[in-house]
Structure 1
């Protein structure tokens, strides 16, 4: 039962993180095509940055406690990067510099999303492997 609860919580956390990153990417693309002004874009992005960091921390902690080491080590680089940004106070988008850093901000979020997709695929494969292992 604990393993099923782990898999459900893992999938919920990964999908939540992917939705947050997708939302931020949509805002950045809207800003790039001038559909939204920089003040609204940065304020909306900044509203979801800290919850994204917290959810990724919960995800890493869950994998560490559950003993899923490979998933933990896959998510550790993003966690380290987020912690470094937070402690340097560079985690929030700056409205005055958003146009200068637009490409970097999009690439940063695309890298995080790609990392989460890899973790998600690995988690699905691990779940299937676990279920087939229990049958035999």
Structure 2
């Protein structure tokens, strides 16, 4: 029973992270096509950055406690990257620099989405394997 609860919570956490990153990507695309102003876009992105980091930390902690070492070690570099951004205070989008960094910010979020999809696939394979 505990294993089923672990996989359900893992599924929900990864899906939540993917939704948050999808929301950020939509905001960046809206900004690129000038559907939204930079202030609104950056304020909305900045509101969900910290919850994204916290949810990913919970995901790593859950894998550590459950003893799923492969998934934990696979998601550890992503956690390190998030912690490094937070410590350097580079995790928030700057309204004055958003147009200069728009391409990089979109690329960064797309890489995170790809990374989470990879972790999700590995966790599903490990569950059924």
- Using the size of structure 2 for normalisation, the TM-score is 0.98
Q: How many residues align?
A: 129
How much has 1:118 moved relative to structure 2?
0.4
**Residue 75 of structure 2 is aligned to residue 81 of structure 1:** no
Deviation at residue 3 of structure 1 after TM alignment: 0.4
- 1:96-115 pair list within 5 angstroms: 96-115=96-115
- Secondary structure (helix, strand or coil) at the match of 2:77 reads helix
CA distance in 2, matches of 1:19, 1:37: 22
- Runs of 4+ in structure 1 over 6 Å off: none
Q: How does 1:49-68 map to 2 (within 5 A)?
A: 49-68=49-68
- Measure how far apart 1:126 and its partner are: 1.4
What is the alpha-carbon distance in structure 1 between the residues aligned to residue 107 and residue 97 of structure 2?
16
| 1:35 partner SS | coil
- How far does the alpha carbon of each residue in 1:72-117 deviate from its partner, in whole angstroms, 9 at most, with x for none? 1111111001000101111000000000000110111111110100
Query: Is residue 2:69 matched to residue 1:90?
Result: no
Residue of structure 2 equivalent to 1:132:
none
In structure 1, stretches of 5+ residues that fail to align are: 130-136
Gapped regions of structure 2 (runs ≥ 5): none
> What is the RMSD computed on CA atoms of the aligned residues?
0.6
Q: In terms of Rg, which structure is larger?
A: 1
Distance 2:108 2:73 in 1: 19
Q: Secondary structure at the match of 1:42?
A: helix
Q: Which residue is 1:6 aligned to?
A: 6
1:119 corresponds to: 119
